Amino acid sequence: MTNSIGKGWAAGLVSAIKDPKNCIISSEDAVVIRDKYPKAQHHYLVLPKADIADIFHLTLSHLPLLEELYLLAQNVIEVKRCVMDDFKIGFHAQPSMQRLHLHVISKDFVSDCLKTKKHWTSFNTELFLPYQDVTTRLKADGCIKRLTKEKIQQLTTCALECNQCEFVPKNVPDLKRHLFDHWTQKR
């Protein structure tokens, strides 16, 4: 983002990782915080203390840092007494914030903050890059390449589909009701 809101939000992430009360877990190189607008019951961000704009600024030299981010992601799941299989860990392929962050998000997607199709597709299509895919691409290519405009268009306009079954909802409210049913059945 190049507007002032985007810059303010990026600055907000930087100040959030410096405030000890926001910290769930930290290491010498990174911090885990709650997402301010969680899109699921559990939604955390793992941010490096180093100023790295996004995944497109990663190089092979960042692999040890990425491993540290992933270890912290695993740790927060353990601290919250959750199960790894119930989570997605990865990066947005089309980042909306100007600071590198690894999402640790439960697959339930039950949240008042999940409001738009864009919220859903950013986590449940190829717009979400699993951690392992990012490290594999980085090792193979030395960088992370941007998706083409055509691919982004295809992914953002695809039909909604439940991430837990074959249900195809009419709209986001229909999807949210359906996801809530999944969630209550598991509890």
Q: Where are the domains of the chain?
A: 4-157
Q: Which of 62, 101, 119, 182 does the annotation list as catalytic?
A: 101
pTM of the predicted model, to two decimals?
A: 0.91
pLDDT band at 96 (very low <50, low <70, confident <90, very high): confident
Q: pLDDT per residue over 44-61, tens digit each?
A: 999 999 999 999 999 999
Contact 179, 106 (CB under 8 A): no
Q: Is 101 a catalytic residue?
A: yes
**How does residue 8 score in pLDDT terms, banded at 50, 70 and 90?**
low
* pLDDT, position 20: 80
Phi, psi of 87, rounded to the nearest 5 degrees: -125, 155
pLDDT value of residue 186: 86
Confidence of residue 3 (pLDDT cuts 50, 70, 90): very low
CATH architecture, domain defined by 4-157: 2-Layer Sandwich (3.30)
- Count of positions (residues) in the chain: 187
Tokens of 6: 């985007």
